[in-house]
């Protein structure tokens, strides 16, 4: 009788440990494959449209940036260069490499299980007159497209779309 008790206890303990290990493996598999973070590393074209501004000439201004983004887990780092501006009247300004304003980017990814993942990016632009910061809240549609809204200390806000080039 005592031997059966210890034998049953041993089998129960072993089966509980094995079951826990299998369950943990399933959770790791789900988090790494099914619910994995998107791969946002690469070169991006970012298109910004100003929808609200305190400075009338910037209303409906369209900006294009070239971005190099690096991802480490859920953290984002990179740099952006403004390469083009288009006014609401259609006047286009293209910036040569030596004339481009550079911005530093920091951000993170908020992984979601039931909804699209989101990315929050913070641009710090060292302009010729002052430093401007911009916060973008982006919905990640896939590894190659993100879109959302931005808010800037320049007194403007609007919409933004990211398209990966590689």
pLDDT digits (tens, 9 = 90+) for 84-103: 999 999 999 999 999 998 99
pLDDT of residue 33: 59
Place of tokens 């993942």: 117
CA distances from 26 to 38, 62, 73 (A): 20, 47, 20
pLDDT of residue 34: 58
pLDDT greater than 60 at residue 32: no
pLDDT band at 29 (very low <50, low <70, confident <90, very high): low
14 three-class SS? helix
pLDDT greater than 90 at residue 123: yes
d(CA 145, CA 70): 15
| Nearest residue to 69 via CA among 119, 118, 19 | 119
* Chain segment 58-67, per-residue pLDDT in tens: 999 999 999 9
pLDDT band at 74 (very low <50, low <70, confident <90, very high): very high
What is the average pLDDT score of the chain? 90
Buried b (16+ CB within 10 A) or exposed e, 66-77: bbebebeeeebe
Residue positions counted in the chain: 166
- pTM of the predicted model as reported, rounded to 2 decimal places: 0.81
154 sits in the region (left: phi over 0; alpha: psi -120 to 50; else beta) called alpha
d(CA 18, CA 7): 16
Average pLDDT value for residue range 126-132: 86
Residue 15: how many CA atoms within 13 Å on its side-chain side?
A: 6
């Amino acid at each position: 009788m005592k031997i059966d008790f210890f034998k049953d206890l041993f089998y129960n303990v072993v089966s509980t440990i094995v079951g826990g290990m299998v369950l943990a493996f399933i959770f790791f598999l789900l988090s790494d494959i099914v619910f994995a973070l998107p791969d946002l590393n690469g070169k991006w074209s970012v298109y910004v449209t100003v929808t609200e501004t305190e400075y009338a000439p910037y209303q409906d201004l369209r900006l294009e940036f070239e971005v190099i983004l690096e991802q480490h887990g859920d953290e984002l780092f990179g740099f952006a260069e403004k390469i083009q501006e288009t006014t609401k009247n259609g006047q286009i300004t293209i910036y040569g490499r030596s004339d481009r304003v550079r911005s530093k980017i920091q951000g993170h990814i908020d992984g979601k299980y039931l909804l699209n993942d989101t990315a929050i990016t913070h641009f710090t632009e060292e302009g010729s007159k002052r430093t401007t910061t911009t916060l973008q809240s982006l919905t990640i549609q896939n590894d190659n497209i993100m879109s959302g809204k931005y808010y800037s200390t320049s007194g403007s806000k609007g919409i933004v779309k990211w398209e990966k080039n590689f």
